[in-house]
Structure 1
Amino acid sequence: MRAAVIDLGTNTFHLIIADLSDGTVRMLYKTTVPVLLGQGRINENMIIPEAFERGIKTLSAFKATIDQHQADVIKATATSAVRSAINGQAFVDEARDVGIEIEVITGDQEAAYIFDAVRATGVIKDTVLVMDIGGGSTEFIIGDAKGLLWKKSYNIGAARLMQAYFHSDPMSDADRSAIITVLDETLGELKSACTHYKPKALVGSAGAFESYAAMLNNGEEAKDIPTMPLDIASYRALSAHLIASTHAQRVDMKGLISLRVDMIVIAAILTSYVLDTTGVQALHLSTYDLKMGILHSLLK
């Protein structure tokens, strides 16, 4: 079976096409497009007209590519930006007109797919906390090699927090304190779950964690490997540097793609907060994320 998976994220749309046969995945094609569906008014639960148009044009181009590869199955899932938008259903309807049937998944479904993706890397040997920082939401999952133990999706994605609280360059202490206050007020259940399950490592799913890995490796991306360890001390030094930096300084940083130049500051605050409050002692990157979790669910 040849499958096409589309992940309609708040910041980026992803397309992967793979052959699923003999219980294996053979990747044929993959691309990522910075659609920025959450641009401008994500906290007002609105997809603005420019973002709406970019999204539909991208899906139309994806459909042409899928047709060229003669995929047997198309699985398209939308997450926070679409599920929370008052015009999200209109977007789904227009996507159907270009040949893409979108399933708007819940935060819990998103978290479960992410865990499946991370487990497929083989990184989970003991109890771990998985974190996926999206534009609209951030998912946390606790699990071990046997399966998922706890999960929750929070509407504290990087785009949401950036639009609400990132008002200075470099970020002011007041802006950072406001974000920390939101995290204190929001993540109580996560901290309780970590106290109960005692995860030994934090596994970051793709996205910002890929940027951390590249920046810690002199700009070299983690290519063709499903997982890699990240040194926590080196990450903490990088995080402090990112949070204190200006936009212009981040533009010139090796390994930081343009899409994440500003959102990486929010991601660093989120990641450091989780490390500080959960007590995990190890940090890993999983290059597999939601779309790979969906692909592996089709393989099953």
Structure 2
Amino acid sequence: MKKIAVIDLGTNTFHLVIAEVRLPGSFEVVYKTNQPVKLGENITLNNEIIPTAFERGLSCLEEFHNVIKQHRVDRIRAVATSAVRSAKNGNDFVQTVKKITGITIEIIDGIEEASLIYEGVKASGSIHSPSLIMDIGGGSTEFILCDQKEIFWKQSYNIGAARLLQQFFHSDPLSKEDNHKIKIHLENQLQSLIQVISQYQPQVMIGSAGAFESFYQMLNPHTHLSQIISTDIAISAYAQLAEKLLHSTHAERLQIPGLIPLRTDMIVMAVIQTSYVLELAKVEQLKLCSYDLKMGILAQISKEI
């Protein structure tokens, strides 16, 4: 039996998952945690990780390293995504982490990120027909057109919720003018997605973890997400929630059960993206899958051991 640790260094949140591999291709999660590091705080100003965020990230990884040692892990894979790959001092962060903790961080590009998200969603058993997977991160958003056997098309766009928030969130509630500006920005950015949706016409959209977990939790505040791997989100219920969030203030969103504080404002950006794509794709079904990039890495490594 081998133990694997996966660290996902997201723009907003750092995740640690430890799993045991008993048979090739199968794994069981024995520990998981996350911290709202906000590595991408104000990253759009000078395209760099600011000093306070740098320190938060380093402190978090020191804690993760101690947990990994306690679990006597056989193999570690740490991957960094949008914030680190786009920051001028991203490599400085990677080198500092290596020097202080011994953890080697691999900076992956958006295309590999999309591939790993697909592997995670596929491992959950959520894909039953041609589907569009959407994963809204802090720095980037990934889209994968696929079925349960293969990827037809994949792409990563720098339209993550934190990035949009820093660029466009100038009023509370969000003004019609800023909402319109975001939609124009999405239309300009997502031309290739618009084309492939027209070509493949998926009937199902699968939201991978993150914001989609928040949507589901707000609609089902008494359900524990830890019990959910894959489930439907009624599009009509989502639409009502989206309207509520778009017209709410920060203070009002803080009071909504199921919405974690980290996403209090970013959820508005996630709603605009999700609603835009739902309208674009005109899918018949919306699903939440709690498996994402880190589970994709676990699935990948478990086949190799």
TM-score bracket for this pair, using the shorter chain length: over 0.9
Q: Cα deviations across residues 35-89 of structure 1 (Å, max 9, x unaligned)? A: 0000012353210000000001111110010000000001000000000000000
Counting only pairs closer than 5 Å after superposition, residues 186-197 of structure 1 correspond to structure 2 as: 186-197=189-200
User: Which of residues 174, 178, 191 in structure 2 aligns to 1:175?
Assistant: 178
Q: Cα deviations across residues 72-112 of structure 1 (Å, max 9, x unaligned)? A: 00100000000000000000000101111000000000000
Q: Distance in 2 between matches of 1:41 and 1:271?
A: 23
The letter of the residue matching 2:78 is A
Q: Distance in 2 between matches of 1:171 and 1:296?
A: 40
The letter of the residue matching 2:49 is I
Q: Distance in 2 between matches of 1:221 and 1:265?
A: 23
Q: Determine if contact 1:139/1:153 at 8 Å carries over to the other structure.
A: yes
| Deviating more after overlay: 18-27 vs 4-13 | 18-27
**1:156 aligns to what?**
159
Q: Determine if contact 1:116/1:296 at 8 Å carries over to the other structure.
A: yes
User: Which of residues 199, 202, 206 in structure 2 aligns to 1:203?
Assistant: 206
Task: Describe the SS at the equivalent of 1:223.
Answer: helix
Q: Gapped runs of 5+ residues in structure 1?
A: none
Cα deviation for residue 281 of structure 1 reads 1.2
**1:14 aligns to what?**
15
**2:236 aligns to what?**
233
User: Which of residues 278, 282, 288 in structure 1 aligns to 2:281?
Assistant: 278
Q: Cα deviations across residues 242-265 of structure 1 (Å, max 9, x unaligned)? A: 011000000000100000000000
Q: Distance in 1 between matches of 2:250 and 2:222?
A: 18
Q: Determine if contact 2:43/2:83 at 8 Å carries over to the other structure.
A: no
The letter of the residue matching 2:70 is Q
> Deviating runs (4+, > 3 A) in structure 1?
none
Cα deviation for residue 27 of structure 1 reads 1.2
TM-score with structure 2 setting the length: 0.97
Q: Distance in 2 between matches of 1:156 and 1:96?
A: 29
Task: Describe the SS at the equivalent of 2:227.
Answer: coil
User: Which of residues 123, 126, 133 in structure 2 aligns to 1:123?
Assistant: 126
Q: Distance in 2 between matches of 1:106 and 1:297?
A: 17
Q: Distance in 2 between matches of 1:90 and 1:146?
A: 39
User: Which of residues 44, 65, 70 in structure 2 aligns to 1:68?
Assistant: 70
The letter of the residue matching 1:170 is P
**2:33 aligns to what?**
31
Q: Distance in 1 between matches of 2:30 and 2:123?
A: 18
Q: Distance in 2 between matches of 1:102 and 1:42?
A: 22
User: Which of residues 86, 89, 92 in structure 2 aligns to 1:90?
Assistant: 92
The letter of the residue matching 1:194 is I
Q: Determine if contact 1:129/1:143 at 8 Å carries over to the other structure.
A: yes
TM-score with structure 1 setting the length: 0.98
**2:253 aligns to what?**
250
Greater RCO structure (CA 8 Å; 6+ sep): 2
Count residues with an aligned counterpart.
Answer: 300
User: Which of residues 139, 144, 149 in structure 2 aligns to 1:146?
Assistant: 149
Task: Describe the SS at the equivalent of 1:100.
Answer: coil
RMSD over equivalenced CA pairs, Å: 0.9
Q: Cα deviations across residues 102-153 of structure 1 (Å, max 9, x unaligned)? A: 0000000000000010111111110000000000000000000111110000
Q: Cα deviations across residues 165-215 of structure 1 (Å, max 9, x unaligned)? A: 001010000110110010111111101111111111110000000000011
| Deviating more after overlay: 19-28 vs 4-13 | 19-28
Q: Distance in 2 between matches of 1:128 and 1:69?
A: 37
Q: Determine if contact 2:43/2:87 at 8 Å carries over to the other structure.
A: no
